[in-house]
A = this chain, B = another copy of it.
Amino acid sequence: MVSVTARVRFYETDLMGVVHHANYFRWFEMGRIAYLREAGIDLNRLMEDGFMVPIVDASCRYHRPARFDDEIVIETKLSACSKVRIVFTYAVRRKSDGVILAEGSTTNAFTTPDGKVERLNDQYYPKLQAKLEEERKTTVC
């Protein structure tokens, strides 16, 4: 699991007075990018190497609203990974009391810039496998 802390920005709210629901997917993205970095994968470099990483599936369950100026913790776990797909799960917690505000998951594909499936190569795939192995050990314990 990789944790990222952020403070809720004013522009992330809407007229219901809480964070607009679409923004949680942006927070998941921040978590995902931080996770990849921890795994030794820089997204800019991955794209320079010709891989696009489009989202093919995303979902979120909203438990309680995040509010302006809240500190939040985005917890990201790798839950599955093949050479063509990668699945992450997320929990967004309010930092002050640890309450889970939302949970979700996403699936990304690896493709060429033209959108054709592109199998992840040996420069990248073992790094993700190592993290997945690590996650599994942690979950068991």
Contacts and interface: CB of A to CB of B under 8 A. Distances in A.
Interface of A: 9-11, 13-18, 20-23, 25-26, 29-30, 33, 42-44, 47, 52-62, 64-65, 68-69, 113, 115
Given A14-B14, A42-B69, 11 more contacts: A10-B29, A10-B30, A14-B15, A16-B52, A21-B25, A21-B54, A25-B25, A43-B68, A44-B68, A57-B60, A59-B60
A26 B12 CA distance: 10
A80 to B, nearest CB: 17
A60 to B, nearest CB: 5
A55 B13 CA distance: 14
Contacts of A20: 10-11
